[in-house]
Amino acid sequence: MWPPTLDQITFDLMCRDSRDYALSHGLVMRNDSEPNDNIVFQMPITLFPSPFPRRLYDCARAIQPHVNTLMQRIATDLEFMRTSLEGVMKVDDFTRKIFEINETVEREGRAQPIIGCISRSDYMLHATKCEYDVDGQVPKCRIGLRQVEVNAIAASLASSSMNIAQMHQYLMRKYQLIDVPQLESRFPANDGSRLVANGLIKAWDLYAKASAIILVVTENRSMNFSDQRIIEQLVHMQRPDIAMTRCRFTDLLDCISLGPNRELLFHKRTEVAVVYYRHCYDPSDYNFDGAWDMRLQLERSRAIKYPSSNFHLSGVKKFQQILNDQMQLERFLDADAALLLSRVFCRLWPLGFDDEGNAAYEMAMKHSKQNLVLKPQREGGGHNIYGEAIKPFLHNIKQHESRNQYILMEYINSPTTNNWLLTYDNSPVLEQGDLMVAELGIYGCVLTNGSSDSAELINETGGYLVRSKRFGVNEGGVVGGYGGLSSLYLVDDELGDATLTDGYFSV
């Protein structure tokens, strides 16, 4: 049974232990309500790891190399990008501007042929095929995997994820909640921060200039600084010869320039080998004079970018909708990979003014009750429209060109499990656990020499993220305050480890 039954004393001890572990191992964030950067708050976390079918975790990992390749193929097919994003760009200035930057860089000829992307592909569990047992009593469902989206820029929480996986293992051992021999098979290794650090190191090595640095582009105030710092520390521990500097995007205005061979110069002297964006994915990040020129300058430079503008664009949700089935995918992937990937796709629809878009519009007006999500081309949480709110929203934009920037997605019907969410200011109650929904993220890193048929210099998969949110909460981000960080507890559902009844996933 999962989570195991606890008495009150153990529950209280475990809650305190979890919080203290979080506070002492970098599972902390800054908070808007506290302007002092030296005061941090415990990240929202779950008391227990989240059960997840092993076969689906394995499946998500097996898919990731193909996701990496797919993104690379999209990124290097300018014509496909142009035709696919045409409608979106008419009404979405942000996507258009990134596209124009990419076009300028392509037209001028890339100073740096190597392009890179550190990404995270997100999935939820989906309860499918409900049928009744012979005696007609127990509804038996099957759980499948559905891809939510791919984050192509600033994919976060790889380090925090590693820490919480260790925290959960520590608690399970300390409170003897799991047999030690089971630990390894239940808790997969989580090395996402190593994947990111290695990706940065590899790019730096390929740039091949000993005095050049890695530049981390940050927000004005890094709320989730610890996740980023741990990656920097890993790079430094592994390679003390590599210098790494953080700089706020706004401050870069005064300190970057291009050298005669389009070297990116930091404070006119130091050459930048690698730019690692932990920012610059939301339109509001560019709300100051010179922001777009600066992004163009970074892209024009010889530095290797994580991600380059074309990789950044490859994460746009419109591509998810266009490449929504095996046939479309075969344009970029071989048949086996396309089949594997298409099996985890949700149904998606465009909302343009052609027949397909009009049919989708009418369908949403009829059926939007609970089973659809409306998404614009954005990253970072808080932009989607769910369920019953879709109808009035669509009604307002029926004749408006802005319809083009949205896609409709089938609502993923995730099974719930029991857990306790610990925020920095709540008081969980043993008898009132939270019904929670888990979301899995798999990290990938790809570096290629930039042509569409290029050999990938690296194509790696490593580490995972689990975010769990209370049932009924639509959005899912930890930093945005929607859910808590969690870790995996793998179960073999096909062997009877887990069952699903009425949307509840019991172990």
Among 346, 390, 438, 490, the residue binding ligand ADP under the rule CB under 6 A is 346
Structure tokens at 359: 């049919």
Residue 133: name the closest of 505, 501, 503 by CA.
501
Q: Does 440 bind ligand ADP (CB under 6 A)?
A: no
What single-letter DSSP state applies at residue 416? B
Does position 380 bind ligand ADP by CB under 6 A? yes
Per the CB < 8 A criterion, the answer to whether 401 and 91 are in contact is yes
**242 vs 437, beta carbon nearer ligand ADP:** 437
**Taking CB under 6 A as the rule, does residue 378 contact ligand ADP?**
yes
Distance CA 495, CA 507 (A): 11
The residue among 122 and 263 lying less far from ligand ADP, judged by its C-beta, is 122
Q: Is 481 in the site for ligand ADP (CB under 6 A)?
A: no
Give the residue with the Cβ less far from ligand ADP, 144 or 476: 476
Residue 454 DSSP class: P
Half-sphere exposure of 115 (CA within 13 A, CB side): 31
What's the min distance (Å) between Cβ of 375 and ligand ADP?
Answer: 6
Identify which of residues 88 and 274 has a Cβ nearer to ligand ADP in the complex.
88
Q: How far is the CB of 386 from ligand ADP (least distance, A)?
A: 7
* Least distance from ligand ADP to the Cβ atom of residue 157, Å: 12
| Residue number, 164 or 437, with CB nearest to ligand ADP | 437
Around 335, how many Cα atoms within 13 Å sit in the side-chain half-sphere?
Answer: 0
Q: What is the DSSP string of 2-49?
A: -SPP--HHHHHHHHHHHHHHHHHTT-EE--TT---TT--EEPPEESSP
Question: Which strand (E) or helix (H) includes residue 88?
Answer: helix 78-91
- The residue among 232 and 439 lying less far from ligand ADP, judged by its C-beta, is 439
Residue nearest to ligand ADP (CB): 476
Q: Please identify which residue in 26, 44, 462, 476 interacts with ligand ADP, judged by CB under 6 A.
A: 476
Output the smallest distance, CB 471 to ligand ADP, in A.
11
Give the residue with the Cβ less far from ligand ADP, 482 or 504.
482
Question: Using the rule CB under 6 A, is 439 a contact of ligand ADP?
Answer: yes
**Interacting positions 405-424 with ligand ADP (CB under 6 A):** 409-412
Residues in contact with ligand ADP, counted by CB under 6 A, come to a total of: 20
Six-digit token pair at 237? 């521990």
Q: How many C-alpha atoms does 334 have within 13 Å on its Cβ side?
A: 2
Out of 92, 149, 232, 434, point to the residue binding ligand ADP (CB under 6 A): 149
Beta strand pairing call for 385-386 and 372-375: antiparallel
DSSP string, 222-289: -TTHHHHHHHHHHHHHH-TT-EEEEEEHHHHTTTEEE-TT--EEETTTEEEEEEEESS--SGGGG-ST
Summarize as ranges the residues that interact with ligand ADP (CB under 6 A): 122, 148-149, 346, 373, 375, 378-381, 383-384, 409-412, 439, 474-476
